[in-house]
């Protein structure tokens, strides 16, 4: 059964992978044999994550290539440098995202809304466009977009973020249809509340945390590593007949 999840010979880009869910995914992909690019805006944070991952897996599996997802030029350099280092890109994980606003949409500024849509949807579209041609030429590849259960329900506090995450689910569905004939799988993972710095405003508030965990089956917050296994599944041979789907990993919050 181990061969189902074997990623030896595969190479991956994981955006937003210097911490949180992205770093957990990069670590587990490397653990299963992949070569991985750790990418976020700051080189020192990327280098720290690379050192941690390589020490954990016992080999030089990860390298750092910083990039700002809001910059199309940075994303193209990320793709070009990865191809120079690894020869090809087999797995793309679009994890990096922004949420600069916490409150009702009636008070949301144009700049904040634009930033959310740019970083959470348009940048994913750009990066996938850059990576897909060489995947299509080889007729093999896996694209994974980290969405959120926020894309499945309404919110009066993170509404714009939820809109962007719903759009990511539709982006995956559209691209799975478009890329399917070339054997490229495109899926999204929709985590619930996970204890990351990104979601700190939600879990650091005791009342919000109590409300969020009370209305779930497992009655607790998730951890970044509990999301990573699904990414390994989708990137590996185990997931080769899986595309166009959104996988909810939320401790049972959405089923209550």
- Looking at the annotation, which residues are catalytic? 161
Tell me the CA end-to-end span of the chain in Å, nearest whole number. 33
Closest CA to 128 of 246, 13, 10, 243: 13
Closest CA to 26 of 146, 173, 131: 146
- The neighbouring-strand residues paired with 188 are 145, 246
9-19 as b/e: b if 16+ CB within 10 A: ebbbbbbbbbb
Closest CA to 34 of 105, 93, 76: 93
DSSP-based helix, strand, coil % in the chain, nearest 5: 55, 15, 30
């Amino acid at each position: 059964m181990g061969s189902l999840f074997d990623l030896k010979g595969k190479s991956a880009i994981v955006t937003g992978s210097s911490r949180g869910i992205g770093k957990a995914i990069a670590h587990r992909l490397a653990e299963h044999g992949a070569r991985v690019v750790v990418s976020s805006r700051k080189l020192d944070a990327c280098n720290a994550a690379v050192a941690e991952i390589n020490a954990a897996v016992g080999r030089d599996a990860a390298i750092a290539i910083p990039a700002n997802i809001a910059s199309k030029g940075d994303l193209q350099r990320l793709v070009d440098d990865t191809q120079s280092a690894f020869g090809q890109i087999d797995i793309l994980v679009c994890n990096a995202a922004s949420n600069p606003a916490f409150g009702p949409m009636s008070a949301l500024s144009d700049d904040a809304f634009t930033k959310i849509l740019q970083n959470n949807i348009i940048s994913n579209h750009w990066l996938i466009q850059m990576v897909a041609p060489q995947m299509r030429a080889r007729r093999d590849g896996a694209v994974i977009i980290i969405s959120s259960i926020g894309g499945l329900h309404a919110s009066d506090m993170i509404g714009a973020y939820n809109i962007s995450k719903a759009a990511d689910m539709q982006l995956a569905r559209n691209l799975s249809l478009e890329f399917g004939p070339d054997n490229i799988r495109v899926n999204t993972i929709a985590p619930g509340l996970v204890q990351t710095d990104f979601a700190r405003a939600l879990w650091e508030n005791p009342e919000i945390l109590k409300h969020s965990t009370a209305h779930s089956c497992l009655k607790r917050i998730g951890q970044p590593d509990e999301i990573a296994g699904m990414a390994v599944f989708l990137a590996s041979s185990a997931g080769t007949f899986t595309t166009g789907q959104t996988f909810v990993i939320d401790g049972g919050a959405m089923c209550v």
